[in-house]
Amino acid sequence: MPITDSSVPSAAQTAGDDRPTFADLGVPGPLLRVLAADGKSEAFPIQADTLPDSLAGRDILGRGRTGSGKTLAFSIPLAARLMEAAWEPGMPMAEYRRNVKAIRREHLAEREAGGFHPHPRGLILAPTRELANQINEVIQPLAQMAGMTTTTVYGGVKQNRQVRDLMAGADIVVACPGRLEDLLNQRLLTLSDVRIVVLDEADEMADMGFLPQVRRILKRIPDDAQHMLFSATLDHGVDELVREFLHDPKTHSVDDVNAEPDLMTQHVFEVEKADKFEVVRQLASGTGRRILFTRTKFQAKKLAKSLTNSGVPAAQLHGNLSQNQRDRNLAAFEQGDVNVMVATDVAARGIDVSGVELVVQVDPPADPKSFTHRSGRTARAGRAGDVVTLVLPYERREVSRLLKAAGITVRPVKVTHSSDEVKELMGVKAPIVKDWSLDETQPAVDPRGGGNAGNGRSGRSGAAKTVRSAGPARADRAKALAHMPRTSSTDGADSGRADAKEPGETRPERRRRDRGRAEARRGDSRRGADTVSGRRSHGSKPRSGSASNANGGKRIHRHDENRIITDERSEAVKRHERRMEARYGAKRETAGRGSAGRRRGRQYR
């Protein structure tokens, strides 16, 4: 199909600060209220160029540099065109809300009628889970005002929450291709009712090998649906997608993909290998937000740990983390609990964290495209930012080639960790923080609001992880044995341990433990002074007058039964049991000695 190109700068681009408002571009009034509440009233160039065509239902091919506002450029028409509640200019908001409630009641009646099969009306495909979550955060308030619900669908987590949201009637799905195709093959939803489909970062999906899955998904969508594709480049098969699925698309090329934002300053520092970490630590020691990029997951983990041990708290973001850990670390960085994020290229695409002042490329990227997208994490949405690329002596030629391919002209500067250039970029130095742990600021549960349908994290499992990470393994063992009654005839040292609070023990658990011990002590006092309910400490002498005790016997009191049995185990086994009692508490009473060999290994677990 022919492609209409509007790469010539528009009035919105040439007008400088005189940018059109969203109201001028035809955005419905209810959505204007949501945008105004978020401090957005004027459109960026990519939004000003695409909104008139996308709101009219035309297929869109958007091209531009990272950080240009593409997410909002397709979120607004998606919410506006799928809005079912009646709206007219000048309509009171109370009347509009009544219309929204009426539409919701109709959808609820459809689901309760039986035989409901999820059929979303809007679909957004994204290459990574982090990008899917951030897109959902942008579109969710707009969809909510329009009377719709959203959800995310991606791998790395259980599908139960995603299926539950789909069965609850999610209108807009933000998905990664792999998990979405899996749910389609399970026949858990259908795309036959999709009216608008968006492909964000299509070139990244091509680089990750998702194009076959994307093509199979698009074939399930009606031909008359509106298609919007946003991509920095049209290589690696993206151009074939455009020709196959987009109908007479309007191309909007606001900026050259490799164009450097006006407020971005590039720096190239040549450092020696022995001084490289100190330079990185100085650059990471400032008070503002900064992202450090490494080439491998191992290097990211090692650098984050080294910075944290040196007093600079740093979170990490890479592919070896579980989805809950990645969400937690990213939320800690967004909320300001930590100012330094050490990441691989998984964070170089689409992760939009406001206020990132500095990007440090600790390791040069593999290609010019990654160089551009790493740098795009700063100087976003009209804010200034700096990008530092560290170069070792043997990397000069490689970095020079990357800079030339990326269209960046900057002169390398030799620095050390005490150079003025490094101190200037560091800014105000943050105080040193010792023994910092991310678990203290961000529990391993849903960091963005618990039951948010767009996040897909289990609060129950997350709470369990928080307990496990709260203390050492000894605390876990103490909790596991808290319900067992302690005997009252242990030596003085054991008695002191019994009354003390175990590390990591909660108040209800301590109460249950003390209640069990008190009941055991009351039972011992009723039985009399001859009752012996536990073993003597190692090294104590046997009671006089009891021959069986002298021979290793033990007096047993159970259900009015008073008898003495002989422990025929070796002294080494007995000493080991006494040590385990002193360390972990009294063992459980067993019904007999018939299976003692099998149970002995589990008594203290």
Considering the chain, what is the average pLDDT of its residues?
Answer: 78
Instruction: Specify burial of residue 84 (Cβ count, 10 A radius: 0-12, 13-18, 19+).
Output: middle
Of residues 583 and 67, more confidently modeled: 583
Distances in whole angstroms, Cα of residue 112 to Cα of each of 101, 122, 168: 16, 22, 10
d(CA 282, CA 399): 22
Q: What value does the CA radius of gyration of the chain take, rounded to a whole number of Å?
A: 32
Domain of residue 537, residue span: 471-589+598-602
Whether residue 394 is found in the same domain as residue 529 = no
Residue 258 lies in a domain: no
Question: Do 219 and 303 have their domain in common?
Answer: no
Q: Is residue 259 part of a domain?
A: no
| pLDDT at res. 105 | 93
- DSSP-derived 3-state class of residue 114: coil
Element (H, E) at 139: helix 129-145
The Cα 458–Cα 390 span in angstroms is 40
Are both 232 and 271 inside the same structural domain? no
| One domain, residues 475 and 566 | yes
Same domain, 243 and 271: no
Closest alpha carbon to 204 in 74, 346, 47: 346
Question: CATH no. for residue 148?
Answer: 3.40.50.300
Burial 211-236 (b: 16+ CB within 10 A, else e): bebbeebbeebeeebbbbbbbbbbeb
Q: In the chain, how many H helices and how many E strands?
A: 25, 17
Residue 165's identity, in one-letter code, is: D
**Confidence class for position 372, pLDDT limits 50, 70, 90:** confident
| Predicted pLDDT at 477 | 46
Residues contacting 29, CB < 8 A, separation 6+: 87, 89, 91
Tokens of 164: 């539950």
Query: Could you give the CA distance from residue 448 to residue 440 in angstroms, rounded to a whole number?
Result: 16
Looking at the DSSP bridge assignments, the partners of residue 230 are 62, 200
Is pLDDT above 80 for 375? yes
- Dihedral sign for Cα atoms in the order 358, 433, 472, 334: negative
CA-closest candidate to residue 589, choices 554, 538, 560: 554
Residue 175 in any domain: the answer is yes
Judged by DSSP in three states, 286 sits in: strand
Axis crossing angle, helix 70-82 with helix 45-55, rounded to the nearest 10: 20
Confidence category of residue 455, pLDDT binned at 50, 70, 90: very low
Place of tokens 């990750």: 208
How confident is the model at residue 586, as a pLDDT?
A: 63
**Contact yes or no for 408/376 (Cβ under 8 A):** no
396 occurs within a structural domain: yes
Tokens of 311: 């007093």
Instruction: Answer yes or no: do 241 and 94 share one domain.
Output: yes
Same domain, 407 and 491: no
Q: Band of the pLDDT at 16, cuts 50, 70, 90?
A: very low
Comparing CA positions, the residue from 343, 400, 355 lying closest to residue 382 is 355
Distance CA 294, CA 320 (A): 14
User: Which helix (H) or strand (E) covers residue 385, if one does?
Assistant: strand 385-391
Chain segment 244-265, per-residue pLDDT in tens: 999 999 988 765 544 555 678 9
Smallest CA-to-CA distance from 510 within 478, 462, 474 is with 478
Residue 445 has pLDDT above 60, yes or no: no
Does residue 490 surpass a pLDDT of 60? no
Please give the average per-residue pLDDT across 293-312, as a whole number.
93
Is residue 466 in a domain? no
Among 116-125, 201-210, 318-327, 526-535, whose mean pLDDT is lowest?
Answer: 526-535
> Among residues 439, 441, 447, 483, which one has the least CA distance to residue 465?
439
For the chain, the domain total comes to 3
Q: Looking at the structure, do residues 241 and 305 belong to the same domain, yes or no?
A: no
Residue 465 lies in a domain: no
pLDDT exceeds 80 at position 558 = no
Domain-terminating residue out of 207, 224, 253: 253
Other C-beta atoms lying within 10 Å of the C-beta of residue 345: 19
Q: How far apart are CA 239 and CA 235, in angstroms?
A: 6
Establish if 238 belongs to a structural domain: yes
The CA distance from 320 to 15, in Å, is: 46
Q: Is the pLDDT of residue 280 over 90?
A: yes
pLDDT band at 286; cut points 50, 70, 90: very high
Of 221, 253, 285, which residue constitutes the final position of a domain? 253
Pairing between strand 172-175 and 122-125?
parallel
Q: Above 80 in pLDDT, residue 516?
A: no
Q: What is the pLDDT of residue 486?
A: 47
**Full-model pTM:** 0.62
221, pLDDT greater than 70: yes
The answer to whether residues 319 and 398 belong to one domain is: yes
User: pLDDT of 560-580, one tens digit each?
Assistant: 555 555 667 788 888 888 888
Instruction: Give the residue among 78, 24, 31 at the shortest CA–CA distance from 48.
Output: 24
Q: Is the pLDDT of residue 285 over 50?
A: yes
Cα 338 to its chain centre, rounded Å, is 14
Q: In whole angstroms, what is the distance from residue 123 CA to residue 491 CA?
A: 69
417 shares a domain with 281: yes
- Convert the pLDDT of each residue in 89-139 to its tens digit: 889 999 999 999 999 999 999 999 888 999 999 999 999 888 899 899 999
Rounded Cα distance, 514 and 520, in Å: 10
386 and 504 part of one domain? no
At 539, which amino acid appears?
A: G
Spatial distance between the Cα atoms of 447 and 374, rounded to a whole number of angstroms: 25
**Domain finish residue from 230, 253, 276:** 253
**What is d(CA 101, CA 114) in angstroms, rounded to the nearest whole number?**
21
Say if residue 313 is in the same domain as residue 221.
no
In a domain, 201, yes or no: yes
pLDDT at 381 (0 to 100): 64
